[in-house]
Structure 1
Amino acid sequence: MRPTGGPGEWRDRSGRAGGRVARACRRMAAFPALLVGLILLALLVGGAAAQDDRATVRLDGEPLFALSGTDTLDADQRARRVEQRLAVLVRGLEANPVARIETAGDERVIVVSGVRVTTVYPIDAEDNLTEIDGLASRWASAIEKGLTAAIARRTGFAGSFFADTFGALQTVLSRAGSSAVKVVPKLLAAALVMGVAILLATLVNRVQRFIFKRRITDRTLENLIRQLSYYSLILLGALVAADALGFSPGALVTGLGLTGLVLGFALKDILSNFVSGLLILTLRPFELGDQIVVGETEGGVERIELRATQIRTYDGRVALVPNAEVFTSRIVNNTADPVRRGNVLLQVGYDVKLGALIERLRASVASVKGVLPDRPVTVRVEDLGASAITLNIGFWTDSLRADYKETASSVRRHIASTMDDMGLPRPQPDLWRIAPAAPDDWARIWTATER
């Protein structure tokens, strides 16, 4: 692989190694962060309903019992309904509430003062690892004690207002604490998994760089393998982190299916750049180190990522061109072949001896340093103009821009020296256009003469 520039063409960037590493780390972290965000969004939309965690029924912030979700209601909705019924009972009862248990097939119904507070389902007994009758008795006893304490608080200091306010505040704090106890360990576990995944992906990336440096000379293939392995490990870590948060793979697929259409429209450009990057790395219309022209951008390819292609222009600036634009645009690869043809146009007068001039030009251009000796120099008559003959002088040189520009400049200098040595003047136009310096003065003189 040839270097991306010749002597004097590219600046020495050794002092920017730290900045390049920092930018590379930010670019590597951007895609995993986006990927994790998409997965979490999909999980929130489609996977939240798939959790089977139990919800705690509270009265004035005091926990009474925990129940499970059913086919029609999830655990939180079911717990809120029970709490609403208990709140109504607290306002209507005076003292000594009694909870009765009624049998309805496989279910048990807890009734207080004719109000059906809750139903104990077989799933509740299974989740509590007990018999349904024993569980119904425990729930009924907890409801009686909770109602008795709540009624007593409302007959004490400051009455119902203080008890209701304090109870609402305690309920909110209890729910927040309970949620934190359940969620924080999962978040820490997910963060630990993602941290290990990123660390492992970075380590594998460095090991691959060390191995490929000695085994693979194709830098574009190396770049493809390294990026695919890196992001695959990040994706695997995101899936394991989602499982640590309590979401099953089925819930993840459901969430991605529900949000896929919206994400497809919202992230159309990002996905297009991602797919285009894979195609560029696979089909390889150009490689790292090639000097290409994409639209108005021309320079050497420094990096091909899954989002954009990094091109360093000839004036030292870095251009990040989106892969979708690169893949769909017309690309000119100046260094796809190691040699490149150059052309210089020369105008001479009709009074010169073309045969002698052409032979001198061939010999002069062929002696220029950088012109390939195994490719003949050509001198052709390009055009017969009104006052001059146009010659097209062709030569072959290295395709790198630095070498090509330097050689073309040397060819022009040798052509000018040859013209001077032969004493050939430059062609002069036969028609000259003369314009007066002061047209207003000339107009007044012309008017006065006519009179």
Structure 2
Amino acid sequence: MQGTATPSGGGSGEVFLDFVRGLQRFLEELAASQGQVVATAILLGVLVGAVFVVPALLSRLRRVAARSVESGRAGDWLAALARYTPTSFQGVLLRTIQLVVLFLVVGSFLVVWGVTDFAALLDPYVQDRSPTLINAVQTAFLVTIAFVLSDQLQRAIDRLTLALDDFTEHQEEILLRLGQVTIFVALGATILSVWGINVGGLLVGAGFLGIVVGFAARQTLGSLIAGFVLMFSRPFTIGDWVVIGDEQGIVTDITIFNTRLENFDGEFVIIPNDRVSDRSITNRSRKGLLRLTLDVGVDYDTDIDTAMDLARTAMSGVDDIVDTPPPQVIPKSFGDSAIVLELRFWIDHPTPPRKWRAVSAVVREVKSAFDEEGVSIPFPQRTLKTRDGTVSDEAVRSMTADGDE
């Protein structure tokens, strides 16, 4: 194959073409002296090096630079570069190098086997300053800037999370996603402008499409908007014990479309966020303390103050009950067969298992204390009065639906 003539021109485009012509002459001479098969093997070796050797070298350089920054041996300029270099930069650089090598190897194959004149193929684009090439370079630059901005946004949100104790992971995620969407939407609009595409026409079309989609997916969009509201208003977080309408359980996940609970039967309940936002929500974990109540009846002949002291002392000995606020016993009402006392006690870090452990322990301790002091917890009783006005002294413990004992 004959070498191409050097056209007139200058600048960076001419330098690039000179490099391509020099590479092409080298490949032609290599194929002529060593043969096309040997030249092909060399090119395959270069490709394998780009796939396996270059990633290892970049990884090694990254580890060395990281150790230098951590140990303080690096200069201020290197530390600043590490702060503002995106963490994804290594991946972007690696893929760029591999794509460039792949492009060069494929072009070299074509030159070695005499398929095309690569320098002549690129000459019109470089010498005439083809708008396509310029737009491609601008697009690559804009994409790189967008990745850098996205990474800096991630770092800024991480610093904000460390500074604010009440900033949750879900708020961090939603803020990051909104920022990334904003960055890449702006990137897309800018790239369209670079390539001379009418953004206004696209926006008009997108507006009509948005109206159609909005009517077709009203419930989905409602759940989406409600999801954003929930993530920022934060009526509950993952791990909270909540009651939402008729459902209650532990919050296992909050997405932009639905909230997921695990109820106390081990079932997973998925509630659309629009249904969560229009129902009353009771968060039993938010305060960190939960008050529980339990009713117990004592005989009318019992000294109420003594019974209250016994119940209060019994509750104070339960491990699952906190000391502050202290347990309370309140005379609640006159029952049919007993004076009803309301036992009030608190548990911390409320969960259903802790609740039922505390309730069970209170029942056992209060029953034992009453038994030791002879305080009676009466069965349901009825006083029977005959037609002649006499009153029976017998107490009927229980009555069935048919009136039998």
| TM-score where L is the length of structure 1 | 0.47
Q: Which residue of 1 aligns with 2:369?
A: 418
Q: Which residue of 2 aligns with 1:323?
A: 273
Q: Which residue of 1 aligns with 2:166?
A: 218
Deviations 1:163-190 (A, max 9, x none): xxxxxxxxxxxxxxxxxxxxxxxxxxxx
1:301 Cα deviation (Å)?
2.9
Q: Give yes or no for the alignment of 1:429 onto 2:377.
A: no
Q: Which residue of 2 aligns with 1:290?
A: 240
Q: 1:425 to 1:378 in 2, by over 3 A?
A: same
1:293 Cα deviation (Å)?
1.3
Q: 1:411 to 1:298 in 2, by over 3 A?
A: same
SS of the equivalent of 1:361 reads helix
Q: 1:196 to 1:320 in 2, by over 3 A?
A: farther
Q: 1:299 to 1:377 in 2, by over 3 A?
A: same
Residues 297-308 of structure 1 mapped to structure 2, 5 A cutoff: 297-308=247-258
Q: 1:351 to 1:437 in 2, by over 3 A?
A: closer
1:339 Cα deviation (Å)?
1.4
Total equivalences in the alignment:
249
Q: 1:235 to 1:415 in 2, by over 3 A?
A: farther
Q: 1:247 to 1:318 in 2, by over 3 A?
A: farther
Equivalent of residue 281 in structure 1, options 231, 238, 245: 231
SS of the equivalent of 1:380 reads strand
Q: Which residue of 2 aligns with 1:407?
A: 358
Structure showing the higher strand proportion among its residues? 1
Residues 86-105 of structure 1 mapped to structure 2, 5 A cutoff: none
Amino acid at match of 2:248: E
Amino acid at match of 1:394: R
CA distance in 2: counterparts of 1:197 and 1:409, whole angstroms: 62
- Does the CA contact (< 8 Å) of 1:335 and 1:399 recur in 2? yes
1:345 Cα deviation (Å)?
0.8
- Does the CA contact (< 8 Å) of 2:318 and 2:358 recur in 1? yes
Residues 32-431 of structure 1 mapped to structure 2, 5 A cutoff: 211=159, 214-220=162-168, 221-233=171-183, 235-236=185-186, 239=189, 247-401=197-351, 402-430=353-381, 431=396
SS of the equivalent of 1:300 reads strand
SS of the equivalent of 1:428 reads coil
1:428 Cα deviation (Å)?
2.3
1:397 Cα deviation (Å)?
1.8
1:254 Cα deviation (Å)?
0.9
Amino acid at match of 2:335: G
Relative to structure 2, which stretch is displaced further, 196-205 or 412-421?
196-205
CA distance in 1: counterparts of 2:360 and 2:153, whole angstroms: 44
RMSD over aligned Cα, in angstroms?
3.8
Deviations 1:81-131 (A, max 9, x none): xxxxxxxxxxxxxxxxxxxxxxxxxxxxxxxxxxxxxxxxxxxxxxxxxxx
Amino acid at match of 1:355: D
Amino acid at match of 1:229: G
- Does the CA contact (< 8 Å) of 2:298 and 2:339 recur in 1? yes
Deviations 1:382-408 (A, max 9, x none): 221222221111112215214333222
CA distance in 2: counterparts of 1:298 and 1:263, whole angstroms: 33
1:250 Cα deviation (Å)?
0.4
1:308 Cα deviation (Å)?
1.9
1:316 Cα deviation (Å)?
4.3
Q: Which has the higher contact order (CA 8 A, sep 6+)?
A: 1
1:273 Cα deviation (Å)?
1.5
- Does the CA contact (< 8 Å) of 1:201 and 1:229 recur in 2? no
Structure 2 runs not aligned, ≥5 long = 1-139, 382-395
CA distance in 2: counterparts of 1:253 and 1:334, whole angstroms: 47
CA distance in 1: counterparts of 2:321 and 2:355, whole angstroms: 9
Relative to structure 2, which stretch is displaced further, 269-278 or 226-235?
226-235
CA distance in 2: counterparts of 1:204 and 1:312, whole angstroms: 37
Amino acid at match of 2:334: L
What's the % identity of the aligned pairs?
Answer: 24
Amino acid at match of 2:209: T
- Does the CA contact (< 8 Å) of 2:312 and 2:327 recur in 1? yes
1:424 Cα deviation (Å)?
3.5
1:333 Cα deviation (Å)?
1.0
Q: 1:264 to 1:245 in 2, by over 3 A?
A: farther
Q: 1:396 to 1:196 in 2, by over 3 A?
A: same
Q: 1:435 to 1:334 in 2, by over 3 A?
A: closer
Q: 1:398 to 1:217 in 2, by over 3 A?
A: same
1:338 Cα deviation (Å)?
1.7
CA distance in 2: counterparts of 1:436 and 1:304, whole angstroms: 52
| TM-score where L is the length of structure 2 | 0.52
